């Protein structure tokens, strides 16, 4: 049994645990979560012990319910006894009880106290990915590559548009430099926007400042490229600046009113700022433009549930899972 992540949680927090599992698995990170992965006929405690022993990282969904769960306490103890790193995700502002504090005191906590949950799950995925890469670089190279095509992470550039841009590129050398990390790719001809376009992927490497710089230069050279505004918006969002992200995603929408991904991402930024009405409106528009946009269905569902509309919220989340069972 090969497991990247064991997810520990109390049953009261199953919605959050399932969302974390879906996000991680969408990025190619293999998860074990109960009761899904307990084989029929297997003794429950034995299955838990085997999974923890064979995982590389434990994620703890921490809340007041987790604080009072003896099962969660035992799982954390088993992980520490086995030398497994534990990544706690705090979804309620509570202090760990003494037995948990003994194990978790020196550990860095990831706070997920404010909406939207998707923002925190993105940070969690990055943190777990970095932890896995540090322990097994070869395997994690595969995980990172698979993550680039996930439907749950905003896509940097639509593939069809990217291919069209490449067809318009004046020279083969320029096309090949799109995803190069080498500065020489820009020196080829600084008057062409193309060499800068792929370099906006710096945000995917966790360096949004470099992404913003290259996207800004690409926009200066070609102000009508909606994809570069989209990329730069995601880099701003990754830096924790939803206001600038909204500005860029709004411009991407102005240039391409059918840009469903831009609507979805702008909705996430509005939600992060606490404007649930604008967030839901943007997710609704993304769904109108692309009825199979699973993240927009999922995000709108979570927002509706937060507003107390559980029936409609559950329906949206169910639709998201029908479109993409891994969400």
Residue 34: alpha-carbon gap to chain centroid:
22
Indicate the pLDDT class of residue 6, thresholds 50, 70 and 90: very high
Indicate the pLDDT class of residue 194, thresholds 50, 70 and 90: very low
Q: What is the mean pLDDT of residues 122-135?
A: 81
Residues in contact with 241: Cβ distance below 8 Å, sequence separation at least 6, in sequence order: none
> If you classify domain 258-327 with CATH, what class do you get?
mainly alpha
Q: What is the pLDDT of residues 83-92, one digit of tens each?
A: 888 889 988 8
The domains of the chain are located at 5-147, 155-241, 258-327
Domains 5-147 and 258-327 share a fold: no
Q: What is the mean pLDDT of residues 305-326?
A: 84
Q: Which has more confidence, 301 or 185?
A: 301
Partners of 58 in the β-ladder: 6, 86
| This prediction's pTM | 0.47
Distance CA 233, CA 245 (A): 4
Q: What is the pLDDT of residues 29-77, one digit of tens each?
A: 999 999 989 888 888 889 999 999 999 999 999 999 999 999 999 999 9
Q: What is the mean pLDDT of residues 289-315?
A: 87
pLDDT of residue 211: 83
For the structural domain made of 5-147, what CATH number should be given?
3.40.50.10140
Q: Which has more confidence, 137 or 266?
A: 266
The burial class, CB within 10 Å (0-12 / 13-18 / 19+), for 44 is exposed
The burial class, CB within 10 Å (0-12 / 13-18 / 19+), for 195 is buried
Indicate the pLDDT class of residue 107, thresholds 50, 70 and 90: low
- Assigned CATH topology for domain 155-241: 1.25.40
């Amino acid at each position: 049994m090969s497991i990247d992540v064991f997810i520990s949680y109390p049953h009261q927090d199953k919605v959050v645990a399932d969302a974390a599992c879906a996000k991680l698995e969408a990025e190619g990170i293999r998860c074990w979560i109960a009761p899904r992965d307990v084989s029929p006929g297997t003794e429950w405690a034995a299955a838990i012990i085997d999974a923890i022993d064979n995982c590389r990282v434990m994620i703890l969904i921490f809340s007041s319910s987790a604080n009072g769960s003896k099962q969660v306490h035992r799982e954390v103890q088993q992980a520490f006894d086995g030398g497994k790193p534990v990544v706690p995700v705090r979804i309620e502002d509570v202090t760990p009880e003494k037995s948990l504090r003994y194990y978790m005191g020196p550990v860095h906590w990831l706070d997920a106290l404010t909406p939207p949950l998707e923002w925190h799950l993105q940070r969690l995925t990055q943190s777990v990915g970095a932890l896995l890469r540090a322990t097994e670089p070869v395997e994690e190279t595969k995980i990172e590559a698979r993550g680039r095509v996930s439907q749950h992470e905003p896509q940097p550039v639509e593939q069809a548009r990217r291919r069209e841009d490449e067809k318009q590129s004046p020279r083969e050398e320029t096309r090949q430099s799109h995803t190069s990390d080498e500065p020489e790719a820009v020196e080829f001809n600084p008057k062409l926007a193309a060499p800068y376009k792929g370099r906006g992927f710096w945000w995917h490497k966790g360096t949004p400042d470099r992404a913003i710089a290259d996207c800004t230069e690409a926009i200066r050279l070609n102000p009508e490229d909606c994809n570069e505004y989209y990329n730069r918006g995601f880099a701003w969002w990754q830096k924790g600046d939803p206001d600038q992200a909204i500005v860029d995603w709004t411009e991407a929408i102005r240039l391409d009113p059918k840009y469903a991904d831009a609507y979805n991402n702008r909705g996430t930024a509005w939600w992060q700022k606490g404007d649930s009405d604008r967030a839901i409106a943007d997710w609704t528009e993304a769904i109108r433009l692309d009825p199979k946009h699973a993240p927009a269905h999922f995000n709108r569902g979570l927002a509706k549930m937060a507003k107390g509309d559980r029936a409609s919220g559950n329906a949206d989340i169910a639709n998201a899972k029908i479109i993409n069972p891994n969400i």
